[in-house]
Structure 1
Amino acid sequence: MQIKTLCGEAIAPHIDDLARLRIEVFRAFPYLYDGSLDYERDYLGTYARSPESLFVLALDGDRVVGAATGVPMADETEEFRRPFVEAGWNPDEIFYFGESVLLPEYRGQGLGVRFFEEREAYARRLGRFRHCAFCAVERPADHPLRPADHVQLNDFWANRGYVHQPTLRTEYRWKDVGETCETAKPMSFWLRELI
């Protein structure tokens, strides 16, 4: 396994790699994402346009098997910035983690922790961020597609020093498995102060 970090324009050759990973990994609960490459390219354009975006790639040989992303919150879309602005936070002081996706057969080897470490280290090197943040979809406990063995990642995130901020909320639209069109999904944020 090799970990590779890319910033700004250097991420462009790997947009489709991440798009394919997102489509595959996020199809599972809780995201239930029924994605397409066109949707993904549009969504990931936010990262391609930011000179300080970050991709952390996990490679098995030449194959990208996992990835994590980050971008200054000021470069994120309105859906992700708005809750912070409305709550009085300064987006210029927040580094946003977009996603962390890893194929199932590569989990349990410490790569999830490494993804967080690499993004936090990058945010510190940029020198102007006070917090790192990410958001997660919220699904009801009785969701009909929730697997009986589903394990939430809340404990993993808390062990990394992230604190759930249930009042910082947004919605993001995508098409769920079995849906015919995009619908808004509730999401809430987790934050960690950079020390």
Structure 2
Amino acid sequence: MSLQLLVLSANEVEAFIPELARLRIEVFREFPYLYQGSLEYERRYLEKFLHLPQSTLIVVQDDGRVVGASTALPLSQAEAEFQEPFRQAGLEPAEWYYFGESVLERPYRGRGLGVEFFRQREARARALGYANTTFCAVLRPADHPRRPADYRPLDAFWERQGYRKRPDLLAHFSWQDLDEAQESLKPMVFWVKNFR
């Protein structure tokens, strides 16, 4: 495999939007997200990176085909649903750099790309002057009917990257699960890291 990791500037994002939209829908259909997804929503979501110069969008290509991606942006520029738990906890969203998704096609997992996504996004956060980084993950019950028997939560991996779970920072975000007729709110818990 000839893997190439690209850190895109805002003006380079547009050419990758169709492939990134496909990848996000493909990966987020898996447990625990179970995301129905639509190309129209994905296009709108990804287009915002065209207008956010402090954002980060990382792409992994294998022989020119997009097989992985990761995003980040100032929390103050993320959706209000993700800022509100910080405000309620007395934390200023402007002091945090928010990591969006990290998505990889199955054959590329377990090869260190997830670690590299964290490394690249943290380097960008530091370069922009942030001392705090955060991301959130959906909470699903242990007995969820779509939970695969071999599912392993990523908590231990995130802890190895220096993050700690903050159960007091809880957001609710809406999307349509694969087996839902319409969108519903999903609880999402934040993980945080401080560089100082």
TM-score range relative to shorter protein: over 0.9
Q: Which moved more, 1:14-23 or 1:104-113?
A: 14-23
Q: What residue in structure 1 maps to residue 93 of structure 2?
A: 91
Question: SS state of the match for residue 48, structure 1?
Answer: helix
CA offsets per residue over residues 59-97 of structure 1, 9 Å max, x none?
101111000000011111101111111111111111000
Q: What residue in structure 2 maps to residue 125 of structure 1?
A: 127
Question: SS state of the match for residue 13, structure 2?
Answer: helix
The aligned runs of 1:46-125 (5 Å cut-off) are 46-125=48-127
Give the partner amino acid of 2:92.
N
Q: State TM-score, norm by structure 2.
A: 0.95
CA distance in 1, matches of 2:48, 2:93: 15
CA offsets per residue over residues 109-165 of structure 1, 9 Å max, x none?
1001000000000111112x1211000000000000000100000000000000000
Is 1:176 aligned with 2:165?
A: no
CA distance in 1, matches of 2:139, 2:48: 23
CA distance in 2, matches of 1:54, 1:73: 12
Question: SS state of the match for residue 32, structure 1?
Answer: coil
Q: How many residues align?
A: 194
Of 30, 35, 38, which residue of structure 1 is paired with 2:37? 35
CA distance in 2, matches of 1:79, 1:10: 28
Give the partner amino acid of 2:171.
T
Q: What residue in structure 2 maps to residue 150 of structure 1?
A: 151
CA distance in 2, matches of 1:18, 1:166: 30
Give the partner amino acid of 2:166.
Q
CA distance in 2, matches of 1:178, 1:103: 22
Question: SS state of the match for residue 123, structure 2?
Answer: helix
What residue ranges of structure 1 are gaps of 5+ in the alignment?
none
Q: What residue in structure 2 maps to residue 162 of structure 1?
A: 163
4+ residue segments displaced more than 2 Å: 7-10, 42-49
Q: Which moved more, 1:171-180 or 1:154-163?
A: 171-180
CA distance in 2, matches of 1:121, 1:84: 22
Q: Kindly report the root-mean-square deviation, in angstroms, between the aligned alpha carbons of the 2 structures.
A: 1.1
What residue ranges of structure 2 are gaps of 5+ in the alignment?
none
Q: What residue in structure 1 maps to residue 193 of structure 2?
A: 192
Q: What residue in structure 1 maps to residue 13 of structure 2?
A: 11
CA distance in 2, matches of 1:102, 1:43: 18
Over the matched positions of the two proteins, sequence identity in percent amounts to 50
CA distance in 2, matches of 1:43, 1:181: 19
